[in-house]
Amino acid sequence: MTAWLFMLPLIVVNVLVILGPSVATIYFSFTDWSGIGSADWVGLQNYTEIVADADFWSALMHNLIWTAIFLTFPVGMGLLGAFLLSQITRFQMVFRVLYFIPYVIASVVNAALWQNILDPTRGIGSVLATVGIPYLDGVSFFGSERLALPAVAFVDNWHWWGFVVLLFLTALQSVDKELYEAAKMDGANRWQQFINVTIPGIRATLVFVVLMTIIGSLLVFDYIYIITQGGPAGASEVVGTLMYKEAFARFEAGYAAAMGLGLSFMSGLVILVFLYLRRREWEI
Question: Minimum distance between the CB of residue 77 and another protein, rounded to whole angstroms?
Answer: 7
Question: Minimum distance between the CB of residue 191 and another protein, rounded to whole angstroms?
Answer: 13
Can you give the three-state secondary structure of the chain, one letter per residue?
Answer: CHHHHHHHHHHHHHHHHHHHHHHHHHHHCCEECCCCCCCEECCCHHHHHHHCCHHHHHHHHHHHHHHHHHHHHHHHHHHHHHHHHHHCCCCHHHHHHHHHHHHHCCHHHHHHHHHHHCCCCCCHHHHHHHCCCHHHCCCCCCCCCCCHHHHHHHHHHHHHHHHHHHHHHHHHCCCCHHHHHHHHHCCCCHHHHHHHHHHHHCHHHHHHHHHHHHHHHHHCCHHHHHHCCCCCCCCCCCHHHHHHHHHHCCCCHHHHHHHHHHHHHHHHHHHHHHHHHHHCCCCC
Question: Minimum distance between the CB of residue 12 and another protein, rounded to whole angstroms?
Answer: 9
Question: Minimum distance between the CB of residue 48 and another protein, rounded to whole angstroms?
Answer: 19
Output 71 or 219, the one with its CB closest to another protein: 219
Output 99 or 148, the one with its CB closest to another protein: 99
Output 206 or 257, the one with its CB closest to another protein: 257
Question: Minimum distance between the CB of residue 279 and another protein, rounded to whole angstroms?
Answer: 16
The answer to whether 76 touches 165, Cβ cutoff 8 Å, is: no
Question: Minimum distance between the CB of residue 256 and another protein, rounded to whole angstroms?
Answer: 5
Question: Minimum distance between the CB of residue 149 and another protein, rounded to whole angstroms?
Answer: 19
Output 61 or 270, the one with its CB closest to another protein: 270
Alpha-carbon distance of 251 to 281, in angstroms, equals: 47
Output 97 or 195, the one with its CB closest to another protein: 97
Output 81 or 230, the one with its CB closest to another protein: 81
Using alpha carbons, list the distances in angstroms from residue 257 to 7, 23, 31, 96, 207.
30, 11, 9, 41, 30
Output 102 or 230, the one with its CB closest to another protein: 102
